[in-house]
Homo-oligomer: A and B are copies of this chain.
């Protein structure tokens, strides 16, 4: 039944509004953009909204409704859910806030909602959530207008978030970085559908090859571990835990009403289940980027290629810190690269191509590192400010990386000129990172998944 949230034939938007400042309008407008099925606005006060015939009640819709989106105030939302269930609607998304997170009356409302769900066998996402985005079907209950929040392109990542604000900001970030999303669910107060239902669903979902989970407090630790264990054998799951500290946990309790529990136990459970914990938001972004763009690595031996000596030193440190090894370049590679270098220049990993490096020097170094049987991953840090290296360096790296079966990861620091080069690399599918450490931590994730897949 979870399927109906993502691929409904039609949708009823209950609480649809003609007022463009209201969520009930924003959601309708966003559905109209990409949703392929029929849209039924429901509002007793209107005859027509945004050019669509408006219904007094979900009961007046002749066709069987697959998905209902509820945007009416909490005090009448439960009644609406009951009506949906009378019409055999099996999937309901309740955007409305004013439930458990808002105090004692809200708790009563939410308990009543749960009773309806149990009795009527309807599945509910929410309440107090931002709902669902499916880039393929066009289901889009995110009320943020397109001018404020880009929608990501179609892709293989499914995102599960207990926080709506965090989740939408994350997929807005994905859109900006051209990282494709399959499905997104913000489940808010989790009166019914929670992280386990969704992990199990995405585990079997052929279009999902990476799952992202933002969680404050799991509904049931044991169930979460089971769901993760089953899933991580097939596809990576990256988890960001919020509410790690006592103060954070207290904030989580008043945010989504969930119990954060002990972070230490959570963290070791994640390890046990084969899930990747992102300890910081930067890690979440970086791990998402690298896993969405590259295949896992077959080993942990990294070749570092740079034309900035300082970057070489920082990258070597970062490589060791991240738990990777510096590759011992083969004699053949060293000999070949030596030929392209000025006399007396040392050739060893990290490969310092020196400040006057040309594209040709990069080409020789990269091609040899990729060919070298002692190398599993290649990390390139470009110093673009030297005059011998023009912006064609991006094209050179792209052409070589495209043919490589080994992961090639890039980075650089600087303003517009450098950024344009990094952007060209990103647009060609090469992940770039702003610092050597972030590049190496991302490389480590590729190595970890290589181990899991027994490459």
Contacts and interface: CB of A to CB of B under 8 A. Distances in A.
A71 to B, nearest CB: 12
Contact of A144 (B144, B147, B386): B386
Interface in A34-58: none
Contacts of A79: none
A255 interface: yes
A355 B165 contact: yes
Interface string A243-261: 1111110111011100000
A83 interface: no
B165 A255 contact: no
Contacts of A319: 245, 247
A415 B172 contact: yes
Give the size category of A's interface with B: 35 or more
A163 interface: yes
A414 interface: yes
A412 B169 contact: yes
A148 interface: yes
A38 B148 CA distance: 52
Interface in A409-437: 412-418, 434-437
A148 B417 contact: yes
A312 B253 CA distance: 11
Contacts of A175: 415
A310 B386 CA distance: 43
A356 to B, nearest CB: 8
Interface of A: 21, 23, 26, 97-98, 102-103, 105-106, 143-145, 147-150, 161-170, 172-173, 175-176, 214, 216, 242-248, 250-252, 254-256, 280-282, 306-314, 316-317, 319-321, 326, 344-346, 348, 350, 352, 354-355, 383-387, 412-418, 434-438
A383 B169 contact: yes
Contacts of A436: 281
A414 B173 contact: yes
A98 B342 CA distance: 10
Nearest to A387: B26
Contacts of A103: 344, 346
A169 B384 CA distance: 9
B169 A308 contact: yes
Contacts of A214: 310
Given A97-B354, A149-B417, A245-B317, 20 more contacts: A26-B387, A102-B344, A106-B344, A163-B308, A163-B310, A165-B308, A165-B383, A169-B385, A169-B414, A216-B310, A242-B317, A246-B320, A247-B320, A251-B312, A251-B313, A254-B352, A255-B312, A255-B313, A281-B437, A282-B282
Given A254-B348, A326-B247, A313 B242 contact: yes
Given A169-B383, A247-B326, A313 B144 contact: no
28 contacts: A21-B387, A97-B355, A103-B344, A103-B346, A106-B344, A143-B387, A144-B386, A148-B385, A149-B415, A163-B311, A163-B313, A165-B310, A165-B311, A165-B385, A166-B310, A169-B414, A169-B418, A172-B385, A216-B310, A243-B313, A244-B317, A248-B314, A248-B320, A251-B312, A254-B348, A255-B310, A280-B437, A281-B434
A386 to B, nearest CB: 7
